[in-house]
Structure 1
Amino acid sequence: MNEENKITTAYTDDNIRHLSDMEHVRTRPGMYIGRLGDGSMPEDGIYVLLKEVIDNSIDEFKMNAGKRIEVDIDEELRVTVRDYGRGIPQGKLIEAVSVLNTGGKYDSKAFKKSVGLNGVGIKAVNALSSKFEVRSYRDGTVRTVKFERGMMKDDTTEDTQDENGTYVFFEPDDTLFKNYRFHTDFVETMLRNYTYLNTGLTIMFNGRRILSRNGLEDLLNDTMTTDGIYPIIHLKGEDIEIAFTHTNQYGEEYHSFVNGQHTTQGGTHQSAFKEHIAKTIKEFFNKNFEYTDIRNGLVAAIAVNVEEPMFESQTKIKLGSLTMSPDGVSVNKYVGDFIKTEVDNYLHKHADVAEVMLQKIQASEKERKEMAGVTKLARERAKKANLHNRKLRDCRIHFSDVKNERKEESSIFITEGDSASGSITKSRDVNTQAVFSLRGKPLNSYGLTKKIVYENEEFNLLQAALDIEDGLDSLRYNKVIVATDADVDGMHIRLLIITFFLQFFPDLIKKGHVYVLQTPLFRVRNRRSKIKNKKVLEDNKGTKGDFITRYCYSEEERLDAISTLGPDPEITRFKGLGEISPDEFRNFIGPDMRLEQVTLHKNDQVQKLLEYYMGKNTPERQNFIIDNLVIEEDRPEEEDIN
């Protein structure tokens, strides 16, 4: 290379920068709260901010200081949390909320088994909020400190007659959390989990009371969508609580917690539970059962309290601790000893429950053996197909890649037809987005046994692509996205895929991994020269091309776009995914893609829902269809949204 072509960037003292604690959080928010997001997903940052504040109040409750927490989120999306604990020591109030690595949790005398340990959480809330206020009520005085984007603006102390405790107000910074909003379902689930783990605690959420009297037993009763085949076994010990039952659903389902923190990705405590519950039951019956047969249909919850727990990230969703305390017994042994003693005793005392459990295990064993030949053939076929599988266009990063920082972004689109899968394949991010192409409408799997998963080539290849045959521990994609046309056939395919998951892998949906891709019904665009709206022109000043375009996902959005971009805009109606060019598709599967999460609520009875919608044409369903049938007159092409 010629000397004149070399470009050297100066590297001087001016390049060395020091960021304050608050500046560092704002510059690198992912290090502290995971992802930003807009609140449409339960792992989005605004819920992490709320959790970090509530964690501190929960720690007060755990130290027998304050049995009530009040949480309010107003219409302006501003949050207040008030507890009635001891109140943050007022002399260190500013440091406690604005200086990293500062907090009371380093002192094990004050907080024995706390969630918040790193002196980071509340500071991240402060730094990532446009407005933040904290008040400490202690013994007749209240100190109030106010911040804006991490910068202190006011500090006052005055007398008060209010009860001791801490008040926190924050407003997430909308320059970071774009178009955010709180979804009540996500917040309520978080708060209910806190009450399940802390019996005696009352949380008031926007004036509504949330509490639990029976701990993990309440959790299973509230979340199970299939009835247990025997009463929930609920056992408590020092620093450990478990609850479990068997259902007639396929697979296993676990809820795990550490110090009140919902560890959605499990960890050492959940692994210990899975190992020892199977081992104990096997030894009780003194039969050579397979662990998978023992755990098939198991729905369980475990909560442990650990001194100085180690989590795999600041978001604390997976426990990494090997011991119950720095100098204590291992997590595996502690959980194992408890289960061995208590579950064995329970089964000896409740012979009726043990008999039902035995019948369930034997039924699972019988079905597995009946499938053995089919399973072996299917695995061999899938192994060969994976070498040259045209159905799967894989990505480079997977959810099961433990140390990859982008593993949460890993997703797979399930599409139908070559044209749709072709558009997505050409538009996708090859690092994090895979595509699985269906040949046509998949089989209606309602009422069928798991044998069909291995006999049906598409189901077997889909199971292999997701790597969920033995449970979700090896799941390859964080988001399983159903991407079908927004017409009657597309809706039917969507239902058939979801039925398959509900029938054989319900935990995939219950753990929040299944989504439906929302794609636009219309494209509305107009020439810049025709647009009179000055704000629209200003907002699109940096965009290229003669046209300004709006993609519309509903009739309401279409009408709004017409009024914004008029007069006489050009309107295109997309009848299928294959009609959307790869260049345009990039707009719909990028970081801001619209996804609708498939969820199950505690009142959803899976088998009854599947029987009604996917079973034989019952008179009840026929009457429902007739009563709700809407016949629309033909309309001009650009107004047809069916």
Structure 2
Amino acid sequence: MASKNYSADQFTVLKGLEPVRLRPGMYTRTTCPTHIVQELIDNSADEALAGQATQIDVTVCPDGSVIVEDNGRGIPVGIPPGESRPAAELAFTTLHAGGKFDKTDQASAYRFSGGLHGVGVAVTNALSKRVVVDIHTRDPEGSGYGHYRLGFADSAIEAPLVRIENSTSRKHGTRVQVWPDARYFDSNRVNIRELTHLLRSKAILLPGLRVTLSLPEQEPILWQYDAGLSGYLEELLADTETITPIFTQSVYQNDDSHGFAEGEGANWAICWAAQGCPKPETYVNLIPTLDGGTHESGFRAGVFEAVRSFMEHHSLMPAKVKLVQEDVTGKMALVLSARILDPQFQGQTKDKLTSREAYKLMVQTIRDPLELWLNSHPEAGRAIVEQAIQSAQLRSRAAKKVERKKGSGLATLPGKLTDCESTDIQRNELFLVEGDSAGGSAKAARDKEYQALLPLRGKVLNTWEVDADLIFKNQEVHNMAVALGIEPHGVDADPEQVLAGLRYGKIMILSDADVDGSHIQVLILTLFLRHFPALLRRGHVFVVKPPLYRVDTTWRGKARKIYCEAETERDAAIERLRAEGVKESAISVQRFKGLGEMNPDQLWETALCPDTRSLVPLTMTLTEQAFLQERFNLLMGKQSAGERRAWMERDGWTADLDV
């Protein structure tokens, strides 16, 4: 078949809200429209966080539409500088438009907010059949307060912004009614349970805020928590036996002398349960982070450090038991509300925080206050310590049940392997590191308790068309297989049986962030897919994404370093610094030529530390296995050169290439 031509005629530029309507899953969850309603609620909550709103009312109507109303300042109706349309219209029709980008100005309307990308209510409008916005706010010329209305149909303006009347008694606030478009969601009805949890959390996180939810044919539900997080956690633990009282406190930076922005910090409530405890609830600038993130990881690390310090001070450290973080925090009930100046989230739905600086901030925020609290409540501290030691002892006994192969058997462990101390197979990690020099840095950086290293010299053999009994002729493949402790097997093998001798629960591919590094990743993946497929089926394999650049700046006495994985991320970081007023001369960029150039502390922070590294899990289902076999036959088979060339000419433009 003749290859298709690729010309400028086939080049498409998506404008306005077209990207959202074409690929809604990139911007929101498409199971139901709850998240696009949450965008409206988050805007109202940001008004409350700024001290400008005291009430949020949400109504779910019988026709499926939802109304969100607050008594904040109202969306601005004036025309921003350099624009020809009112701010309210821009907010609902233009991606990356809003009042939440300037985080450095102390007088910013939204210095701390969940708004990050400026796509919130624009996504709401893009995925709705209709949107009607009523705004009560001060007139642009400042002469009084007016009632304005703006309407949309299928994301296009149906009724331009118009001033309807004067607002009585200086009324102010915003009311938005949306009709979600069923074409974009599995169900066009909001999830009432999720909506209830969201609204209650806003009331919890903002003591004194009055929040109501009205459902068809039901009495309105009212939430108002004057006790804040402590009262909420007490409510969550009503049926749970606890071993400590609730510890709650708020700690925020008074200035930027500690390397963090003024106002950053956290409010928390924690308690230790005797057995199971509720799932931790964490928030960033009032946004619920359902999957946690660096703020939760840093908070737990700070708790662990504080408890260990208490143990050392009171001579409670066990002689033959090594505590890990999970031993201390495994039964800790937690409600955490973090305040971050410029939060970075994983995805537009903001379910997980990825800001590396948040980890350090939370460690610093909780460590000293908790240590002081433990010394003031020694009985509670001793109860936490006893529980942690018991957990460590149980974990140690469970790990000893797993037969670990060291030097016994026919094959001895490869000499280049730097093994770990732990016998906990599920916790242990093996890093397959590109090059001896990188292996040296990683060896100095690793946590030797549970992280093992195997440096690989040069490119791994392409084993796609090599029989299983011949792959061990290659030294690097031999070393990997022996270190893992498993034998080659076919796609139909029972994973339980072939992985019985596996020595590490996580296998990490750590290579340079360049073309050669990507090639090594592909070759190792080829080996696993062809000869060790059970590793992929059971989710044991990961690719570590080290940074390619580091952006450094020292501005007004504050040193900052930002790691970036690609050029676009580097450019965005530099633009962000410029927007904050950092001079060009104060910004320096370092490009890492390879892992061997990175200092151990840099390598730990970006590639080895479980809380701050970036991982890509490599998994496959039985359904995907057949497709992958076919695709790798095409890409890695020596006899498929002609087909490979035809594919590159026909579909090569669809590949995400690193060249």
Normalised by the shorter chain, which TM-score bucket?
Answer: 0.5 to 0.7
Which of 181, 185, 193 is matched with 1:185 structurally?
A: 193
Structure 1, residues 245-288: CA drift from partner, whole Å, max 9, x if none?
22233699532211011112222211111211111101111125
1:137 to partner: Cα distance: 0.6
Contact 1:400 1:477 (8 Å CA) reproduced: no
Which of 43, 50, 53 is matched with 2:37 structurally?
A: 50
1:365 to partner: Cα distance: 3.3
1:136 to partner: Cα distance: 1.3
Structure 1, residues 78-132: CA drift from partner, whole Å, max 9, x if none?
0000010000111222112112221111234111101112221000100110011
1:8 counterpart = 2:41? no
Which of 151, 161, 170 is matched with 2:167 structurally?
A: 161
Could you say which residue in structure 2 is the equivalent of 1:290?
Answer: 323
1:311 counterpart = 2:349? no
Q: How does 1:229-244 map to 2 (within 5 A)?
A: 229-238=243-252, 239-244=265-270
The AA in structure 1 aligned to 2:60 is I
* Alignment CA distance shift 1:319-1:73 (3 Å): same
CA distance in 2, matches of 1:345, 1:76: 54
Could you say which residue in structure 2 is the equivalent of 1:573?
Answer: none
1:102 counterpart = 2:107? no
Partner of 1:152: helix, strand, or coil?
A: strand
CA distance in 2, matches of 1:23, 1:240: 38
Which of 172, 190, 200 is matched with 2:208 structurally?
A: 200
Q: How does 1:484-633 map to 2 (within 5 A)?
A: none
CA distance in 2, matches of 1:303, 1:179: 31
The AA in structure 1 aligned to 2:158 is K
Could you say which residue in structure 2 is the equivalent of 1:580?
Answer: none
Deviates more, 1:244-253 or 1:353-362: 244-253
1:63 counterpart = 2:59? no
CA distance in 1, matches of 2:121, 2:508: 30
1:169 to partner: Cα distance: 0.8
1:17 to partner: Cα distance: 3.2
5+ residue gaps, structure 2, are: 79-86, 139-144, 215-219, 253-264, 405-422, 428-483, 499-505, 510-533, 540-609, 622-659
5+ residue gaps, structure 1, are: 40-45, 324-330, 403-429, 436-469, 481-642
Which of 188, 201, 209 is matched with 2:222 structurally?
A: 209
Could you say which residue in structure 2 is the equivalent of 1:75?
Answer: 62
Contact 1:141 1:160 (8 Å CA) reproduced: yes
Partner of 2:335: helix, strand, or coil?
A: strand
Contact 2:133 2:150 (8 Å CA) reproduced: yes
Equivalenced residue count is 397
CA distance in 2, matches of 1:316, 1:185: 19
CA distance in 1, matches of 2:101, 2:49: 16
Which of 494, 500, 512 is matched with 1:390 structurally?
A: 494
1:433 to partner: Cα distance: 8.9
Structure 1, residues 422-454: CA drift from partner, whole Å, max 9, x if none?
xxxxxxxx999989xxxxxxxxxxxxxxxxxxx
CA distance in 2, matches of 1:106, 1:70: 26
Could you say which residue in structure 1 is the equivalent of 2:112?
Answer: 113
The AA in structure 1 aligned to 2:42 is D
Partner of 1:117: helix, strand, or coil?
A: coil
CA distance in 2, matches of 1:381, 1:20: 48
1:143 counterpart = 2:148? yes
The AA in structure 2 aligned to 1:113 is F
The AA in structure 2 aligned to 1:351 is P
Q: How does 1:205-354 map to 2 (within 5 A)?
A: 205-206=213-214, 207-224=220-237, 226-238=240-252, 239-249=265-275, 253-286=279-312, 287=317, 290-291=323-324, 292-323=326-357, 331-354=358-381
The AA in structure 2 aligned to 1:51 is Q
1:357 counterpart = 2:384? yes
1:375 to partner: Cα distance: 4.6
1:57 to partner: Cα distance: 0.6
1:385 to partner: Cα distance: 8.1
Structure 1 vs Structure 2 CA RMSD:
3.9
Partner of 1:175: helix, strand, or coil?
A: helix
Partner of 2:17: helix, strand, or coil?
A: helix
1:6 to partner: Cα distance: 1.9
Q: How does 1:381-530 map to 2 (within 5 A)?
A: 390=494
Q: TM-score, normalised by structure 1?
A: 0.56
Contact 1:253 1:298 (8 Å CA) reproduced: no
Partner of 1:90: helix, strand, or coil?
A: coil
CA distance in 2, matches of 1:349, 1:281: 13
The AA in structure 1 aligned to 2:47 is E
Partner of 1:105: helix, strand, or coil?
A: coil
Contact 2:47 2:73 (8 Å CA) reproduced: yes
1:392 to partner: Cα distance: 6.4
CA distance in 1, matches of 2:401, 2:296: 31
* Alignment CA distance shift 1:317-1:138 (3 Å): same
* Alignment CA distance shift 1:380-1:316 (3 Å): closer
* Alignment CA distance shift 1:75-1:251 (3 Å): closer
CA distance in 2, matches of 1:66, 1:476: 43
1:312 to partner: Cα distance: 2.1
CA distance in 1, matches of 2:52, 2:183: 37
CA distance in 1, matches of 2:331, 2:538: 30
